[in-house]
Amino acid sequence: MRSRLPGLRPGGSSPGACLSDLAVDGVIAGAVGSVALNVVTYLDMTVRARPASSTPEESARRLAQLLHIGLGPEDRAANRRSGLGPLLGYATGVLCGAALTVIGTRRLSASVAAVLYGAGVMAAADGTLTALRVTDPRRWSVTDWLSDIVPHLAYGVAAVATLRQVDRYRTG
């Protein structure tokens, strides 16, 4: 039996949304948002001819150390970190999408929800990077902040647009 959450109405048509449906919708929205974040990041790299960030790989390295997980000999460990870093980013985006959808952000206007989704995933990502001592946002320049905020806002816009589309599909 699926649990219902009173008062949450995807698309405004059903008497309540199943928690599992909300989570799945959020996973989908988070995945689409993560793709949008990466596209905007890669466009920024292309336009400004800036190098890729080392933070994903460094976060994978620090997390593996913290959890006492060996990644193998250094040549293989470097390759594994190259794969794990982006996967950790996608996991953050997907899980944030699910969490923010379950807590009921669908009740908000699209613009407010997009900002909250973007801010939420940015706080989760940057908070993790800060806790792992990969970065220190207190030392970021204005350009650094903009390079972080803009892709996360793209995440929020794409995630919310996806949720709205899922709602339209469900309501016919």
Residue 109 pLDDT level (bands cut at 50, 70, 90): very high
Residue 114 clears pLDDT 60, i.e. is over it? yes
Record the tokens describing residue 45, joined without a space.
């790299």
The string of DSSP letters for 89-143 reads: HHHHHHHHHHHHHHTTGGGS-HHHHHHHHHHHHHHHHHHHHHHTTS--GGG--HH
Residue 111 clears pLDDT 80, i.e. is over it? yes
Alpha-carbon distance 141 to 153, whole Å? 18
Residue 128 pLDDT level (bands cut at 50, 70, 90): very high
Q: Residue 49 in 3-state DSSP? A: coil
Question: Mean pLDDT, to the nearest integer, of 6-26?
Answer: 64
Identity of residue 122: M
Residue 43 pLDDT level (bands cut at 50, 70, 90): very high
Predicted pLDDT of residue 16: 56
